[in-house]
Amino acid sequence: MIIDKYLNAVDQDVIEYVKKVYQGEKPTPITVGFLSDRTAEEIEHLTGKKTYGNRVVLDDNGVIHIRNRHGKGGAQDESMANLEDIARMGYVLANYDKIEFHNEYAQGYVDANGKLAPKIVFSKRIDGTYFVIEAVSDAKKHRNYVVSAFIQSRKEKSDLSVPNNA
């Protein structure tokens, strides 16, 4: 069952990384996944960016955004107050149901041409819907960056739309 796989997909290294950032450290970004060829093909179709072989990383900026918007006392909600939910984003990225591009770009993240990186949205139905927003980069580092993540409960919205500034 999907929810059982989700619940068992906690990455302890991500929890430790998030705790370090919460304590004010600036650790090296942590890898939370790798783009499959299928995912890279979908990203290229949506954005025109070639990202084959890219790793997906979570950096301190992503963690801080998630905490401020979706953590305990978050400005948007508290859907990511449980660190285990943050630590399950790798599962969501590897098993997403849908990937979308809403013609939005990530502040602070650039592509190979120095332009703002497009933001794509991965979603996975669990008990509600888990969203991961990723900045897509075709730069030499071969990294995409998690810029946000949150869970929208079934009760919140029936249209499952992604709020602005997710």
The string of pLDDT tens digits covering residues 116-157 is 999 999 999 998 999 999 999 998 999 999 999 999 987 765
φ, ψ at 110 (rounded to 5°):
-125, 165
How confident is the model over 69-117, as pLDDT tens digits?
999 999 999 999 999 999 999 999 999 999 999 999 999 999 999 999 9
- Per-residue burial over 85-105, b if 16 or more Cβ lie within 10 Å, else e, is bbbbbbbbbbebeebebeeee
Supply the pTM of this predicted model. 0.91
108 token code pair: 């602070």
